[in-house]
Structure 1
Amino acid sequence: MWRRTYLLLLLIRVYFALSPSYLHPDEHFQGPEVFAGRVLAYPSQLPWEFTSSLPIRSVFPLWPIYEVPMSLLKWFYTEIGSGSPPPQLVYYALRAGMFLLSFVLEDWAIYELVPSPRHRRATVVLVASSYVTWTYQTHTFSNSLETLLVAWGLVLIRRIVENKQRSSYFSYAVFSFIAVVGVFNRITFPAFLLFPGLQLLPYFQRKPASLAAIIGFGLLFSLTAIYIDTSFYRPTASILSIIRDPIITPLNNILYNTDKSNLALHGIHPHHQHFLANLTQLLGPAYIVMILSLFSRPIIPFAMRNARALSAISATFILSIFPHQEPRFLLPCVPLLLSCVRMHRNRLFLATWIIFNAAMGFLMGVYHQGGIVPAQLAMREIITTNTAAQGIKSAPEASVFWWKTYSPPHWLLGAEDHANGPAGADAALNTSSISTFDLMGIPGSEMISRLDSSVPSCGSLSPVYLVAPVSATFLDAYIPDLSGAESADLQLYRLWSYRQHLNLDDMDFAEDGVRETLGRVVGRRGLGVWSVRRRCK
């Protein structure tokens, strides 16, 4: 029974891995966007973390996850003489890679971390049935990689402690590598292994050489990471200059995040945010079951007396000290805490668990900002088709304004040699001909003002396009198909739409009420691409 259930959940994980939802800008701008321009000559815009004078993000952990797959695809397409790979293929290849990492490494680690054969199968199935496993773990997040590194860090700690016969230098090297990659990936990584790592102290007392080996391997991998980072940020730097003035990204990251004024730019949250809101959002009914178990005897249930629970709970306490708290910061806690839940075939728990994860899975894995990736992938074809329909034989410069959406990933526009227009178009649209403007959530009047300054005079081809949620009723006054919009100076003509898109940031219960807000955001869900033109009198 459990094998069939696990296989079904595996198919569900594949489905969500290939669904183009968009959970947070970091999944693009702190990963694929960094390497797409360097490797594939795609358009890219590096975020401030990579462009500041003291960069805070390391490329050392990103290299095998993003650059290697992109380089392999580029090599294959070069060998067959097809130029650069299309962005659709690269996008889904990276998603497939994250799925394989989750399927192989996360499930394997959880299976090893649960000592009881009786509970192993149920735990693996429970973790595989979480919407966090379906969505966050199959997206290109540094937090998703951190989840795998934390789990295997705990596995290595357990293997080292339980190996009382002889020293295993291979385990020491792997543990050091995981520790270094974890720290350079996210500075929050040590919080998850700090207290479980105390188990190693008696082992180091018995075998001091093991501590020396771990430190030695750690220094070697750290120097490698520093060299790679410094070479990335200073491509022309000599080895001597790298030694004299290295770029240590974890140190820069710590200095940045210890400044409260910097964190205020990203949002300040109460210190109880992680425990009261974020874990509830990630674990749902499982978290409620864990809370209720604390009121039973003994005070600490037997299922919680392990390194997995210690790692998750202690890390949550440590991360709660910092005022900026997002749910994805706690992704490593999800499989660790789920491995401590004992279901006992409770039908109420199973029912609520299935409903919760099905609802959150479709919300976060399919609909959450789900139209951005398809729209960006289709953007050149949309513009080229519209140009050809207006009888224009040359592809003009185009300005695309994105409003009330997450930042559009530039790399999804693809390389120049894939700008193939539709039949009848005399000239293909180059990527360099598209200018992308992220208006974020500015007021509608400001958005119209920006469009007004860019749209040419009446009778000229309008190279201006607007991408916005269909649920934004502000746009109705500029759509000619709707009554009363014929008199507007600017008019919007929809060229393309994608139905599976929800903009949760557009909810305004205080002003519109619950029923009206849900009717607008859910009932009129979707993302549209409009051609912006002036009304000709």
Structure 2
Amino acid sequence: MHSKSIKPKDSSLVSYYILCFLRVVLVFVPQVGYIHPDEFFQSVEIIAGDEYGLEVTRTWEFNSTFPIRSIAIPYFGLKLPFSVLRFISMYSKYYLDVNLRGSYVILVFPRLLMVILSFVNDWSLRKICAAYGLQSQFRLLTLASSYVLLVYSTRTFTNSVEMAICSMLLYIVSDCMIHSNTVIYQREFLEEKYLKARNYVEKVKLYKLKMSLPSHSLNKCVLMATLCVAGVFNRPTFFLFGTPLVFHWLLRGMGTKMVSFADFNVRIVVFVLSSVPALVFFIVVDSLYYGYLTPAELEQLDVGIDNFVVTPLNFIRYNINPENTKQHGVHPYYLHLLVNIPILFNVLGVIAVLSFAVMVYRFASNELTNLPRAQSFVGLMLSAIFFPIFMLSFINHQEPRFLLPITLPLILLHAPKLKTGVCSSYPFKVRSYLRDFLYNYVLSTRASSRYLFQVWYSVNLALTLFYGFIHQGGVYQLAAHLSRQMDIRSTATHIHLVTSHIYSMPQCFLDIPSTQTLLVNPENGQKYRRGKQFFLYEYGSMELPHLYRKLKLILDINEMKAISNNQKYLLYLAIPSSLAEELNDVFHNRTTALIKHTQITVFYPHLSVEAPPKLLGQHLCGINTDPDEMQDTCPIYAFEDERNPYSVTRILKQFSALVHQFGLVLYRIDVRKRIK
């Protein structure tokens, strides 16, 4: 009996450790998938450019005239480690001939730091379960098997940092709540015994025991305040995630004889005062970085209000205007609740929403006895999940990654339901066919054992592959390829790259020295800047006829420079292979076509949602740029001669046609006839 009872726990822990190892391994593979430009352009692109002096793209969010992003956490979280890495790389290059500054290192090294940070979520979950006597094995397994941890938490998103800070804060508040409840219960018990005591000796003994109880009212206040300030400067939306947690910390013990409203006010005052040192620190760091404050002014104490910048206030000022957020995309108010939660947490997210809907139904039915208390563990987790969701729903721009911080409370509260089902007993008062169907096939333990856990694993595996390796997967491979080509070719050759229907390419992977850095010639002392070698033209989802005209214009300008200044150049085009057939038509159907495109290579896998593969479309020959060869060799033309539309040959050809559309094609663009 004993061995049987311990075996599931051991197997869960073994599976959990395997998934933790997989989380680290996936960083080194590496994951070439590209979730969103913010994972690079709000962190790695800026810091790598500052530390290595590289040519990078500084987004408008880091504009010194109106900065809305704090540099403090990226500086101490990435720039200092990059400084150490740069120091080590000097010796590794000299003694071992190992370059620690290539595109692979710039991609993997920040993610290695993020995967270390991601284990804060695991640690917090384990500590909360230990404090409340909850089974941690299955919850840890559920957390580690989520693609949120396998993919999102290892990326350099501010949302991933926000998730780690929220998880740590959730543990601190949970620990303070159970500590306060224990101390208050013991104090009330001793107080009651003290009042009933009949002799002086017993009263003295009880009084000493009561006074020996530890303090709890302001427990871990400084640490909480510091984390909250760091969270807000990392991403101001942290205010919405931190508010319910801080409120529960302030509310501890309210309603008992030992805690009054005065204690509540004292906690607020001390919490605000405890946040001042961290607040000053972050403001000074940002002000120094953006040039509002100089070390000389700080040394001479010649500072005023204009010498400081508060980036979270700028962030709020920008995002509070719907016209500004409208530029990034407008989404319906229900998107977070009904779409983004299922995207992030699939069946577990659906269970959370259904459970909350049941609670709302009970509240509307005046079944208050079945609802959790506000100061309970369940009340804390529910507020940590749904308060930020509802508040963020009022913002018209919504993305799934904005909800990453609710991962830990959602798994703590609902992960066991993957095994036990949503309801342990029949939840409805009146039976009906529809309610019986919902209970038997969705809500019950029997339904859960049939499919819930299998669906959880299957969907997370699919999304790990999709976001980790397929979605925009060719962008990094393109940058690494160009970086190698630029190392081989002469610096006198200018490289021009045109992209369409793909995400912005982080230039930090190209390892090009910055053209903005002022250099000094050691021979004559003359100051100069490097000439620009790489030119990037990103045209979003431009229609291909317009893209053709852009290419011709860029080519004409460079041809004129080649004739007048003997300037060598190479012009490339990167576009999803799903558009290759259409691109061929644009090039070959022009009566005045003076330019040609030649395929250099194809990067697999790659999927651009802006240019999805066609289910019934081109074959690999559609990528081919030679029309004569395409007509002679393309197997897809054999479809016309096949009588059986369901033949194995035709199905295999169509499957091959579909697979080859999951690529990013790099073309060389040249003139057909050079003007002499």
Q: TM-score, normalised to structure 1's length?
A: 0.87
With 179-188 and 464-473 compared, the bigger mean Cα shift is at 464-473
1:34 aligns with 2:49: no
Tell me if structure 2 keeps the 8 A contact 1:107–1:124: yes
**Counterparts in 2 of 1:394 and 1:79: CA distance versus 1, 3 Å:** closer
600, 605, 620: which one pairs with 1:500?
605
Q: Which amino acid aligns with 1:133?
A: L
Tell me if structure 2 keeps the 8 A contact 1:187–1:250: yes
Q: What are the superposed Cα offsets for residues 254-289 of structure 1, whole Å, 9 maximum, x if unpaired?
A: 111111111111111111111111111111111222
379, 388, 398: which one pairs with 1:315?
388
For 1:288, the equivalent position in structure 2 comes to 350
For 1:126, the equivalent position in structure 2 comes to 142
- Equivalents in 1 of 2:102, 2:477: separation in Å? 13
1:190 aligns with 2:234: no
1:452 aligns with 2:574: no
For 2:113, the equivalent position in structure 1 comes to 97
With 432-441 and 42-51 compared, the bigger mean Cα shift is at 432-441
For 1:535, the equivalent position in structure 2 comes to 672
For 1:143, the equivalent position in structure 2 comes to 159
282, 285, 295: which one pairs with 1:228?
285
Tell me if structure 2 keeps the 8 A contact 1:462–1:533: no
Q: What are the superposed Cα offsets for residues 48-95 of structure 1, whole Å, 9 maximum, x if unpaired?
A: 011162211101121222112211111212345659722321221111
469, 489, 510: which one pairs with 2:576?
469
Q: Which amino acid aligns with 1:282?
A: L
1:172 aligns with 2:221: yes
For 1:261, the equivalent position in structure 2 comes to 323
Q: Which amino acid aligns with 1:198?
A: F
Deviation at 1:370, TM superposition (A): 0.8
Deviation at 1:321, TM superposition (A): 1.1
- Equivalents in 2 of 1:522, 1:116: separation in Å? 50
Deviation at 1:505, TM superposition (A): 1.8
Tell me if structure 1 keeps the 8 A contact 2:545–2:586: no
Tell me if structure 1 keeps the 8 A contact 2:595–2:670: yes
For 2:275, the equivalent position in structure 1 comes to 218
Tell me if structure 1 keeps the 8 A contact 2:325–2:397: yes
Deviation at 1:200, TM superposition (A): 2.5
Deviation at 1:40, TM superposition (A): 0.9
RMSD of the TM alignment (CA)?
3.1
Q: Secondary structure at the match of 1:531?
A: strand
1:411 aligns with 2:508: yes
- Equivalents in 2 of 1:242, 1:181: separation in Å? 24
**Counterparts in 2 of 1:394 and 1:231: CA distance versus 1, 3 Å:** closer
Q: Which amino acid aligns with 1:413?
A: L
- Equivalents in 1 of 2:475, 2:35: separation in Å? 11
Tell me if structure 2 keeps the 8 A contact 1:478–1:490: no
Deviation at 1:36, TM superposition (A): 1.2
Tell me if structure 1 keeps the 8 A contact 2:501–2:541: yes
Q: Which amino acid aligns with 2:553?
A: S
Q: What are the superposed Cα offsets for residues 498-537 of structure 1, whole Å, 9 maximum, x if unpaired?
A: 11111112139xxx7x655997775411112221111138
- Equivalents in 2 of 1:116, 1:286: separation in Å? 22
**Counterparts in 2 of 1:282 and 1:495: CA distance versus 1, 3 Å:** same
Q: Secondary structure at the match of 1:524?
A: coil
Q: Secondary structure at the match of 1:467?
A: strand
Deviation at 1:364, TM superposition (A): 0.8
Q: Secondary structure at the match of 1:406?
A: coil
1:365 aligns with 2:468: yes
Q: TM-score, normalised to structure 2's length?
A: 0.70
Rg larger in 1 or in 2? 2
Deviation at 1:205, TM superposition (A): 4.3
22, 34, 43: which one pairs with 2:55?
43
Tell me if structure 1 keeps the 8 A contact 2:62–2:69: yes
For 2:186, the equivalent position in structure 1 comes to none
Deviation at 1:488, TM superposition (A): 4.0
Q: Secondary structure at the match of 2:220?
A: helix
Structure 1 residues 320-339: aligned runs within 5 Å: 320-339=393-412
Q: Secondary structure at the match of 2:503?
A: coil
Q: Show structure 2 runs of 5+ residues with no match.
A: 1-10, 184-213, 253-260, 363-369, 421-448, 515-529, 619-653
Q: Secondary structure at the match of 1:400?
A: strand
**Counterparts in 2 of 1:167 and 1:336: CA distance versus 1, 3 Å:** closer
Deviation at 1:193, TM superposition (A): 2.2
Q: What are the superposed Cα offsets for residues 141-170 of structure 1, whole Å, 9 maximum, x if unpaired?
A: 000000011111111222333254225988
- Equivalents in 2 of 1:170, 1:116: separation in Å? 18
Q: Secondary structure at the match of 2:402?
A: helix
419, 426, 435: which one pairs with 1:344?
419
The structure whose residues are more often helix, as a share, is 2
For 2:542, the equivalent position in structure 1 comes to 442
For 2:24, the equivalent position in structure 1 comes to 14
109, 113, 124: which one pairs with 2:128?
113
Tell me if structure 2 keeps the 8 A contact 1:70–1:90: no
Tell me if structure 1 keeps the 8 A contact 2:228–2:242: no
Q: What are the superposed Cα offsets for residues 322-379 of structure 1, whole Å, 9 maximum, x if unpaired?
A: 1111111111112321222222262311111111111111111110101111211221
Q: Which amino acid aligns with 2:321?
A: D
For 2:13, the equivalent position in structure 1 comes to 3
Q: Which amino acid aligns with 2:287?
A: T
- Equivalents in 1 of 2:612, 2:549: separation in Å? 23
**Counterparts in 2 of 1:524 and 1:226: CA distance versus 1, 3 Å:** same
Tell me if structure 2 keeps the 8 A contact 1:502–1:521: no
Q: Secondary structure at the match of 1:283?
A: helix
Deviation at 1:45, TM superposition (A): 1.4
**Counterparts in 2 of 1:352 and 1:167: CA distance versus 1, 3 Å:** closer
- Equivalents in 1 of 2:491, 2:401: separation in Å? 45
Q: What are the superposed Cα offsets for residues 226-259 of structure 1, whole Å, 9 maximum, x if unpaired?
A: 0000101007632256542110001111111111
